[in-house]
Amino acid sequence: MKTLLLSAPGEFQDYRRQLHKDVCIGFVPTMGALHEGHLSLIKASKQNNTHTVVSIFVNPTQFGANEDFTQYPRDIQKDFKICQEAGVDVVFAPEISQMYPNNDEISINPPKNMGYIYEGFIREGHFNGVLTIVLKLIHLICPHHIYFGQKDAQQLLLIKRLVSDTFLPTKVIPCPTQRDFDGLALSSRNIYLSPQDRKEALKIPIALQNIKKAIQEGEINTSVLIELGKKELKGLEVAYLDACDYNLVQIQKIRQNASIILIAAKVGKTRLIDNLWI
């Protein structure tokens, strides 16, 4: 099987039109710098669809003015090879001007209660950028299934809202966070960590493990669980450690299949996020 590399939206639309009407398209949107986390999404897509499309696009509108847009790792050849080896049907890698052809762009606002807390509070305009590009990509790719990692919990919940509130004919498939051998959640930004940072960063998954264990032992009081997590995170610059429901409303008590613990912390110069779905 040959993996196609398409860069123009029109080219993708031509490809999509010539497919048989019975195909089932799985779509994995990415910003490249592919790692095992992305591969797990690709694998999930390949299992349940006839065709898998991966987009690689470092989306400028989701980066704040002081963020790492220009430094963000880019290696399209390496990423394309990874996709080829994983059996991806199409890699869609557009230019910025192709996804944003106008100076005065349409932008999607997230719901006020979900879009401007946690990541949305720290990263002004971040979710406007994410929702805008994901909406454009869904319209273009027309996937039956779209795959997202649970690591970006707030992003995943907001995209579910985007899909349901705007009646998009696609199903969002959440996939579990992939971790390195030492427990650190995989992220394209982990390459920014020095060896010392990396050791410090492990406090994050350990804090989540401790919280998980306490919940398994019957603790449901979120103030107790958060204190437990804080103890482990000492020394890190914690942006938030919180417990909320799937509407991102803070909760006092854990409810099974309805709660998340969210962490964001800076390690050295790198901001990491991780979470626990309960």
Residues of this chain that interact with ligand PAF (CB under 6 A) are 29-31, 59, 62, 130, 133-134, 152, 155
51 tagged catalytic: no
- Which residue blocks in 194-277 are alpha helix, DSSP H? 195-201, 203-216, 222-232
State which residue, 152 or 242, has the beta carbon closest to ligand PAF: 152
- Nearest distance, CB of residue 135 and ligand PAF, angstroms: 10
Least distance (Å) from ligand PAF to the CB of residue 189? 11
Catalytic, out of 20, 35, 38, 51: 38
Task: Write the single-letter amino acid at 55.
Answer: S
Q: Are 255 and 221 in contact (CB under 8 A)?
A: no
Cβ 30 to ligand PAF, closest distance in Å? 5
**Least Cβ distance, residue 54 to ligand PAF (angstroms):** 10
Nearer to ligand PAF, 123 or 144 (CB): 123
CA distance 12 to 200: 43
Q: Please, what is the Cα angle at 51 between 49 and 55, to 5 degrees?
A: 110
The CA distance from 33 to 57, in Å, is 10
Distance CA 59, CA 47 (A): 27
Please give the positions annotated as active site.
Answer: 38
